[in-house]
Amino acid sequence: MQIYLVGGAVRDRLLGKPVKDRDWVVIGATEADMTSQGYQRVGADFPVFLHPETREEYALARTERKTAAGHKGFVTHFSPDVTLEEDLARRDLTINAIAQASDGELVDPFHGVRDLEAKQLRAVTEAFREDPLRILRVARFAAQLPGFQVEEHTLDMMIDMCAHGAMDELPGERVWQELHKALQAPAPERFFQVLDAANAWSPFFVELRGAERPPLGGATAENRLAACLASLAVEDIRAFCHRAKVPNAFRDFALMVVRYGDTLRRWREVDALELAGAVSACRGYHDADNLRPLLAYLRWRFECELSDLLAAVARSNVEVHARQFSETGPALGAALVRARAQLLRDAQRLQ
């Protein structure tokens, strides 16, 4: 039985990056061999085991054969006869198909080290075509590894896959997983650049094709996605988020940016009633701190300081709650709106 460190841990170590998760492949072993040594099986589709002490994942070497459409349309074969090279051959990119033995020696049958040095994202084999998720994985790695370029033949395969509707086979949940990782990467704009190069917009990203994408550095994933969607209509944002299974919190923040961001950013100029309506819609009158995420987005996106607006809303909350209103029912609601608008109008005049 031989055990090798594989995948991202080897790649990141060679790049001098922190290694977060370590995955291992086991050659020449059976499921009985693993359980007899205290490993706990957790894989449903193929044998993956947790180490009894480290709880890291150890997978029996396997091969894969495409049998049906879709990301999961594979039959896996595992046995003690599967070689390390056969296991590495099923992986997506050469930089992820490097193994490291216990003595530190590298096993690199597909020249992944060379591609790391050349800063190249290259498919391991033609089997790359069998899994449409790999299109998005390449785009995500481009975002995570600034300076790396997609190798020409690999890009040609991606273009051909997209032209034949490969992306249609993907579940939205996997699309969001890859997009979310890209939005957290050092260069998220590269994700969309690769989508464009491969013409991979359909069916999940059709609304984003040609959309304005401002610089995305130095922000949260939530802010970055909102910036990518900010030039879209509300119905297009909803359609994209539904199709790509974007979490509600990300969707709702993007909609808030589109609906109210410009009003809050120009708060000194807009009508006070319009401003009060935007603050209310953002639940700023429930608690002024509810405005902080949107104001932080506007500060990042437009380099504008809006702490004075936050202070004005906080003051208006205190003053309105301290007042005595004679109105009741709907008339009270209208009186509150007028009072809040007047307080904001007073704050506008002080600027």
pLDDT in tens, 248-264: 999 999 999 999 999 99
**What's the confidence (pLDDT) of residue 76?**
79
State residue 328's pLDDT score. Answer: 86
Residue 25 sits at φ, ψ, to 5 deg, of -120, 140
Q: Please give the mean pLDDT across all residues of the chain.
A: 94
| Token pair belonging to 275 | 């401003």
Lookup: tokens for 276: 């009060």
pLDDT at residue 71 is higher than 90: no
DSSP 3-state of 86: helix
pLDDT above 80: residue 269: yes
The CATH fold of domain 1-123? Beta Polymerase; domain 2 (3.30.460)
Q: How many residues does the chain have?
A: 351
Q: What is the average pLDDT across 98-115? A: 97
Which segment of 62-71, 178-187, 197-206 scores lowest on mean pLDDT?
62-71
Specify the CATH number for 132-218; select among 1.10.10, 1.10.3470, 1.20.120, 1.10.110: 1.10.110
Domain boundaries, the chain: 1-123, 132-218, 259-350
pLDDT tens by residue, 86-102: 999 999 999 999 999 99
The contacts of residue 350 (CB under 8 Å, 6+ apart) are none
For residue 106, the SS3 value is: strand
What stretch of H or E contains 170?
none
